[in-house]
Structure formats: structure tokens, C-alpha cells
Structure 1
Amino acid sequence: MSMIEMFRKELQQESAITRKMLERIPDDKYDWKPHEKSMSIRQLSTHIAELPTWMPMVLNTEELDFATAPYEPKQIDNTADLMKYFEQSLQEGLAGLVPENEEKVNEMWVLRNGNDIYSKTTKAEFLRITMNQITHHRAQMGVFLRLLDIPIPGSYGPSADDVSF
């Protein structure tokens, strides 16, 4: 199995878990955050939903420089719009994970803010970081939902709220 095939399969599998987590967000909680230093549910869920688009962005560019391309998140105000955005992002992500991009996975890729280098890795390594970010932020969302007493879906097995897995 090629690296592109592996990432494509993993993104498809992880998207089912992500979908279950995002669809539980109540429309009236988008401004809620557990702590003043935390992101709001809107910020966190929008970032989770957009992360699949990082796959083709990494494969088709040499770097992302926040100094020249400032982060401008999409404004999401309800779960129906969030789910549409996630599905669009997922399709964009999968569209970039095609066999002809296999030749790019060993090229270098940089994440920076001007002269501050956050990451300089192969594209394959940053695709892995992107997948890890999806899991990391999804786990954060699980904590947010737990604090709001919203049942948490199972991820890699049952949860205390979802034993059906």
C-alpha cells in the first residue's frame, strides 16, 4: 500500500468518528468555551471540519506562511452548516489523496510565520501531523461536550455513553 493510499484510507476511517463527534454539537453552544484560554466550540469545530483540506494543501504547496496567508476561519453558526462544511472539506481532502501525488510525499514542506519556523518536514510527515491534529482536536471536543453533559460517541471502542460501538 502506498503512503497516499494509507492516508486516504485513514482519512475515510477517521471521518466516520469525526462526523459522530461534530453532529452532536448543539446549535446554542457555539460560543461556549470551558476556559478563557480555550477556543470556543465554534473555533474548535470549524478547525476540526477544515483539517481534511490541509492534505491537498500540503501536497500541492511548498509551505504555509501565516505572515503572508493569515488564518481566516469560516464563520459557522449551526451544526447543519458545520456538517456541510466538514463534508465539503472531506471531499477536498480525499480528492488530493490520489496516486499521482505519491511522488510528492518525500518533498520538504514548511509551516512558518515569517522567519519563525514551526515545522520543516517531509510532506508525508506533515500529512501524519495533520491526521494527528484531527484526532487531538476531536478529543478536545469530547472534553468540551462532556463538560456540557452531552453524550460522547465511541471512537476506537465504546464510550461511557455509547456502548454500541
Structure 2
Amino acid sequence: MSTVTNFLEELKQESETTCKMLKIIPEDKYEWQPHVKSMTIKQLSSHIADLTNWIPLAFDTDELDFAVVPYSPATWNNNEELLDLFEHSFAEAKAKLENAKDEDLTPEWILRNGDQILGNLTKGGLIRIALSQTIHHRAQLGVYLRLLDIPIPGSYGPSADDQSF
């Protein structure tokens, strides 16, 4: 199986799990955060919903310079809009991977803030980071939800909330 095919299968699997998590965010807790240094649930959810946009970014650009294009999270007001944002991001990422070849993953891609290089990797490396960050931040969201006593859906099998132990 090619690397692109592996990325595509992983994207599909992780997107199903991510969607389950985003669906259960309590709308009355968008501004909740477990610590003053932590993102709010809304900020974290926006970041999660947006991360798969980095896959088309990998194929369509050679770099991202925050000094030129500052990060601006998408705006949404309710869970339906959040899920629409996520589904749109997922669909674009899926389409890019469906039309890619392994050799498209090897060119260099740079993340910078003006002259400061934040990351110098391959386009495939950026896709790996986008998928890994989705998983990482989704787990972080799971902790937020657990602290709010919200049952957590399973990710790679049942969660403690899905079955009796």
C-alpha cells in the first residue's frame, strides 16, 4: 500500500472518531477551560476542526509564513456549524489525498514566522503532523469532556463509558 493510501485510510478513520467527539461538545461550555493557560473548548474544537486543512496546504503550497498570513481560526456559533466546518475540511483533505501520488509527498515544506523557521519538513511530514495533531488535540478534548463529566465515545475500541467493567 502506498504512503498516500495509508494517509487516506488514516484520515478516514481518525475523522470518524473526531466527528464523534465534536458532536458531544456541550454548547453551554464553549468558554470553559480547565486552566487559565489552556484553550477554551471552543478554541480547541476550532483547532481540531481546522487541522485537516493542513493536508491541502501541504499539496498547494511550499510554505506558510505567519508573518504574512497570520493564523485566523474559523468562526462558528453552534455544534452544527462546527461539524460543517470539520466536514468541509475533511472533504478537501480527502480529495487531495485521493488525487495524490507518493512522489508528491517528498518536496520540502517550510513553516515560518518571518525569518524564523518553525519547521522544515517534507510535504508528507506536514501531513503526518496534521494527522498526529488531530489525534493529540482530540485526546486533549477528551480530557476536557471527562472533567465536565460527559461520557466519552470510544476511539480505537470502547471507552469506559461504552461498556461496564
After TM superposition, is the score higher than 0.5? yes
Query: Shift of residue 73 of structure 1?
Result: 0.6
- C-alpha offsets along residues 128-162 of structure 1, whole Å, 9 cap, x if unaligned? 11110000000000011011111111111221112
Distance 1:53 1:95 in 2: 11
Query: Shift of residue 5 of structure 1?
Result: 1.2
Query: Shift of residue 101 of structure 1?
Result: 4.3
Distance 1:110 1:149 in 2: 40
2:148 — aligned with what? 148
CA contact (8 A) 1:4 1:99 kept: no
Distance 2:30 2:95 in 1: 29
1:88 — aligned with what? 88
CA contact (8 A) 2:27 2:78 kept: yes
1:17 — aligned with what? 17
1:7 — aligned with what? 7
The one-letter amino acid paired with 1:59 is F
What is the TM-score normalised by the length of structure 2?
0.95
Distance 2:159 2:68 in 1: 42
Distance 1:112 1:78 in 2: 32
The one-letter amino acid paired with 1:143 is V
Query: Shift of residue 122 of structure 1?
Result: 1.0
1:52 — aligned with what? 52
- C-alpha offsets along residues 25-66 of structure 1, whole Å, 9 cap, x if unaligned? 011111111111011111100110111111011111101111
Aligned identity (percent) is: 54
CA contact (8 A) 2:54 2:126 kept: no
Distance 1:4 1:60 in 2: 15
When residues 99 and 92 of structure 1 are mapped into structure 2, their CA distance, relative to the original with a 3 A threshold, is closer
Query: Shift of residue 7 of structure 1?
Result: 0.8
- Unaligned regions of 5+ residues in structure 2, if any? none
Query: Shift of residue 4 of structure 1?
Result: 1.4
1:163 — aligned with what? 163
Q: CA RMSD in A?
A: 1.3
The yes-or-no answer on 1:38 pairing with 2:54 is no
What is the TM-score normalised by the length of structure 1?
0.95
CA contact (8 A) 1:5 1:99 kept: no
